[in-house]
Amino acid sequence: MSLRSAVIAAMTLALCACGKSRDGTLEIAVMGDSGALKEQGLRLSPAAQLVRSATHEGLVGFDEQGRVVPALADRWIVTDNGQSYIFRLRDGTWPDGKRITADAAAAALRKTIAGLNGRALGLDLAAIDEVRVMADRVIEIDLSAPVPELLTLLAQPELALTWRGKGTGPMVRGSDEEGAQVFTLIPPEQRGLPKQPDFTRRARKLAITFTTPDKAVTRFNDGYADVLLGGRIDTIPLAGSIGLTRGNVQLDPVIGLFGLMVDSTQGFLGASANREALAMAIDRDALIGRFNIGGWQPTTRVVSPDVEDDLGTIGERWQGMSMDERQTQAAARVAAWKSGGRGIPTLNIAMPGGPGSARVFDQLQVDFARIGLSIRRVGERDRADLRLIDVAARYGRATWFLNQLSCTVQKSVCSPVGDERVAEARKSADPAARAALLSEAEAEVTSANGFIPIARPLRWSMVRSGTPGFAANPWGWHPLPPMAWLPR
């Protein structure tokens, strides 16, 4: 290659590495429907969570590394052995110009918490006894027992506070002539924060395109996006289509639930031992091997062993049994059921679309066929016997997992006794006693066999080298505001 050709090639690569942005705007492709822009209330899709957290603030928020940072509250203290959190609000205004007061903020927070009743996030917040006003700009949250993860919970998009249906930023949303949604940082002085002399130079716009996974990857690959967000197991083969070795693919070290939820207790699935047969039959190593992703580990536990309050008394299931032995025992249970003249219809498994889901289904089909069962794949919103669950944990404690699987949330198969142990743990101020109760709860939930764990969830993104404001983090959560700030 001549020197001239080499220079041209280097310049082309440099341009591609910066994407095809407009006037310094950072182009972001999000895997998700544009309907996320219209989602209201507290049941939000991942794309809608991204929008909510950009345009609405709670008492606290997240930075790009998943750390809690000030938002409407500019400072806080924790007292009474972790059972009281006192927040001082910044001197800002609501969208209509009215001053933010503790009365209004506390009322909004109470309303939001009440709206989460009956959901897993509501159970996470169940230890909140009272939200009360202490002074014009001071709120206190009283707890019945310590909740070490309270700040992390308050930073969730669903806990953002609204005033007459609108949020306080830190960004405002508009659109451009090309149909992209443009998010712009609100100047600090308009939010009750000190003026920043270099704000105009440092702040940049974000142009967000919501689109299908394959189109999002194409936009990134063709240089029309610098960041791609929203990757999960169902879409990760698309990342491999341009090469995982390029260094653009970022995997988040998340924990959570990835496996099959039992949605029907009719016939064969009505017995816990039969549901356990399904769990025994899955060759998790073979399933993970279909994706060829280093470090992705299988699990048979409903609670991740990495959580802070795990005592280590509950290990992986069926240790000491080979895969053949497990499938032989599972097949015997299926045969015993059929020998009684009871048939087992084809089981429907609800899954999202995408090539990753297809790989999961193919392995499940092989494994279940070995024990005498046939399965059919249906859409993720269709009625089904089993449902593929893929949820990243919002905080790193056993209570998150157990609340997800509680009888309040899961109506088909759950453990009332397990829920009782979790409720007792919630009231305990002794960390050791609380951890012991949670271990008992995990054992009860596991024996119900309402959820069949497979592995950790996968969360992935694509980011061009040198893009500021993005970092892999344990929640798989990538807020927009940090990406709108250029380095000093």
Question: Is residue 242 pLDDT above 70, yes or no?
Answer: no
Length of the chain (residues):
488
Cα(133)–Cα(139) distance, rounded to whole angstroms?
A: 5
277, 371 contact by CB (below 8 A): yes
What are the structural domains of the chain?
20-32+170-253+459-484 (3.40.190.10), 57-159 (3.90.76.10), 256-455 (3.10.105.10)
Q: Which distant-in-sequence residues (6+ apart) come within 8 Å of 436 by Cβ? A: 311
Tens of pLDDT, residue by residue over 425-470, are 999 989 999 999 999 999 999 999 999 999 999 999 999 988 999 9
pTM: 0.92
Q: What is the pLDDT of residue 241?
A: 54
Average of per-residue pLDDT across 321-334: 98
How far is CA 405 from each of CA 266, 274, 398, rounded to the nearest angstrom? Answer: 19, 19, 11
Average of per-residue pLDDT across 64-86: 95
Cα(405)–Cα(109) distance, rounded to whole angstroms?
A: 25
Question: Is residue 115 pLDDT above 90, yes or no?
Answer: yes
Q: Which of 32-36, 65-69, 408-412 has the lowest mean pLDDT?
A: 32-36
Tens of pLDDT, residue by residue over 189-240, are 888 888 999 999 999 999 999 999 999 999 999 999 999 999 999 999 998 7
Cα(76)–Cα(60) distance, rounded to whole angstroms?
A: 10
Backbone angles phi, psi at 283, to 5 degrees: -85, 90
How far is CA 308 from each of CA 80, 126, 311, 436, rounded to the nearest angstrom? Answer: 22, 20, 9, 13
Strand runs (DSSP E) across 313-380, as ranges? 347-351, 375-379
Question: Is residue 375 pLDDT above 70, yes or no?
Answer: yes
Q: List the one residue out of 201, 174, 168 whose CA is nearest residue 186.
A: 168
352, 388 contact by CB (below 8 A): yes
Q: What is the pLDDT of residue 37?
A: 79
Amino acid (1-letter code) at residue 265? T
Q: Which residue has the tokens 């400072």?
A: 75
Q: Which of 192-201, 355-364, 398-407 has the lowest mean pLDDT?
A: 192-201
Average of per-residue pLDDT across 261-290: 97
**pLDDT class of 22 with cuts at 50, 70, 90:** low
Tens of pLDDT, residue by residue over 156-187, are 999 999 888 888 989 999 987 776 799 999 99
Q: Which distant-in-sequence residues (6+ apart) come within 8 Å of 64 by Cβ? A: 469, 470, 471, 473, 478, 479, 482, 483
Average of per-residue pLDDT across 413-431: 95
Q: Which distant-in-sequence residues (6+ apart) come within 8 Å of 40 by Cβ? A: none
Indicate the pairing of strand 227-231 with strand 460-463.
Answer: antiparallel
Cα(61)–Cα(68) distance, rounded to whole angstroms?
A: 6
Average of per-residue pLDDT across 481-487: 94
Q: What is the pLDDT of residue 33?
A: 84
Question: Is residue 245 pLDDT above 50, yes or no?
Answer: no
Average of per-residue pLDDT across 22-48: 85
CB-side exposure of 355: number of CA atoms within 13 Å?
13
Q: Which two tokens stand for residue 152?
A: 């992390």
Longest CA–CA separation in the chain, Å:
80
Task: Please classify residue 70 by burial: count the beta carbons closer than 10 Å to its beta carbon, then call 0-12 exposed, 13-18 middle and 19+ buried.
Answer: middle
Question: Is residue 261 pLDDT above 70, yes or no?
Answer: yes
Structural element, H or E, at residue 399:
helix 398-404
Q: What is the pLDDT of residue 312?
A: 86
Per DSSP, the residues of 188-235 read GGGGTS---TTHHHHB--EEEEEE-HHHHHHHHHTTS-SEEEEE-TTT
Q: List the one residue out of 135, 82, 74, 80 whose CA is nearest residue 106.
A: 135
Tens of pLDDT, residue by residue over 121-164, are 999 999 999 999 999 999 999 999 999 999 999 999 999 998 88
Q: What is the pLDDT of residue 93?
A: 87
Percent helix, strand and coil across the chain, each rounded to 5? 35, 20, 40
Q: List the one residue out of 249, 241, 276, 246 whose CA is nearest residue 262.
A: 276
Average model confidence (pLDDT) across the chain = 91
Strand runs (DSSP E) across 37-164, as ranges? 60-62, 68-70, 73-79, 84-89, 128-135, 138-143
Backbone angles phi, psi at 467, to 5 degrees: -75, 120
Q: What is the pLDDT of residue 309?
A: 87
Average of per-residue pLDDT across 327-355: 95
Q: List the one residue out of 35, 55, 108, 80 whose CA is nearest residue 481.
A: 55
Question: Is residue 416 pLDDT above 90, yes or no?
Answer: yes
Cα(73)–Cα(246) distance, rounded to whole angstroms?
A: 41
Q: Which of 165-169, 331-335, 336-340, 441-445 has the lowest mean pLDDT?
A: 165-169
Q: What is the pLDDT of residue 235?
A: 95
